[in-house]
Amino acid sequence: MGQALPKKKNRKTLYIILGGVLSILLLCCVLVVIVGQREGEPETALVSGSPGPTSTAIPSEIPTLTADQRPKSISPVIASTPTATIATIVPAVPNLTPSHTVAASSTPTRTETQTPTRTDTPQPTETSVPTATATAPPSPAATSTLTPAPPTPTPLRVPAQVLRVIDGDTIEVSLEGQPYKVRYIGIDTPETVHPTEAVQWMGPQATEANRRLVEGQTVLLEKDVSETDKYGRLLRYVWVGELMVNAELVRLGFAQVSTYPPDVRYQDTFLQLQREARDAGRGLWGEQPAAAEPTTTSVPTEVPPSPEPTAEQPQGEANVVIAHIFYNGVVPSVESDEFAEIANQGSAPANLKGWRLNADDPGQDFIFPDFVLAPGQSCRVYTNEHHPESCGFSFGSGRAIWANKGECGHLFDASGQEVSTWCY
């Protein structure tokens, strides 16, 4: 009986050791399972560098053991197991953690996913360079094509070389090798070279404007109906390229419209340009200097040469026309000092009895008495003033009759035929 006790004691110790070994093996299995599951977790946790959740995830992964698998006396075994033995086993557990670094090695694949987004922005900048060079070609070179084109003769327009500028509405040209004086049709500029009259206001400016337009130029001469006036001057519209000089002088305000039928091809154009110049206050339509007031109110008593056609008129015939209309009177409100001036530009006297001057409106008429207008003589018909020195004619109107906005005066002979029209 006493010898059997040692065997039982050894056997009990053996069981304790086996139980401890089984417990350790079980713990290792549990750790292996935990490590395997952590390797299957998303990589974001590893990349973000937060290893903390590994300690909290272990309890949830520990499998529950059955009663058969659970050692009956595990606690005594652990308690009796030497600490040195446990220490030799536990260090093996950290050796399992480097397996997590393998998961971290997948992070380079994340950087590879960024490579397709490699910016090729230098390429668009290269395409912008040609666009800059495309705008570089010298566009100002196009402005060098502003040189005037040479005049193109047409059946109505004949080329001539300007020899000199005489005044605002008269030039001398060389036509087919012969010199001719040319009088502009449809307009009249202030006098500067009249043999019996002083230089009129704006006359020098009109001459200078004409000089700038035509001096030294090859111009085109366009005939209307009449060939010459009574002074032998050619009656023409004068063109420089596509610019009509007659119209340009009216537009600039250096000439007034002066219409003499039948040469009225561009009358409407001239009147429109004159209205625009008057509204803009250009040239003759601007404010006159105080010193020029007397000259303004006393328009020449002797009518300057005009382009009135006489090619078909026999010698020794009268030619009565409206020479001028002073429509913007100085007298306030009623403008009684307005007047229309008529002149006999023919070579024979004319009896004006029964002739009628109309101010462009029905009822605004002046009927001439028995009065003989001598060649070269002129008379004024005032709105409501009496001036014996200029024939003493008056409409006798208590208000202004010539509208400042523009109108036409009409002169009819005793038979009722219109013989002259003057528009402003």
Catalytic residues, which ones?
A: 183, 191, 233
Distance CA 233, CA 400 (A): 37
Burial 233-249, CB ≥16 within 10 A → b, else e: bbbbbbbbeeebbbbbb
SS3 120: coil
In angstroms, rounded to a whole number, what is the distance separating the alpha carbons of residues 106 and 46?
10
148 vs 216: CA distance, rounded Å:
14
Give the Cα separation of 401 and 423 in Å (integer).
14
DSSP string, 363-385: T-EEE--S-EE-TT-EEEEESS-
CA 93, 95, 97, 103 dihedral sign is negative
* Side chain identity, residue 158: V
- Gap between the Cα atoms of 345 and 227, Å rounded: 17
C-alpha closest to that of 238 among 288, 295, 166, 298: 166
Q: Where are the alpha helices (DSSP H) in 107-219?
A: 107-112, 122-135, 203-214
Q: Where are the alpha helices (DSSP H) in 286-346?
A: 293-297
Query: Which H or E run contains 22?
Result: helix 4-39
Report the sign of the C-alpha dihedral through residues 172, 173, 175, 178, in that order. Answer: positive
Dist. CA 272–CA 424, nearest whole Å: 10
Q: In the structure encoding, which two tokens stand for residue 368, read together?
A: 């001439």
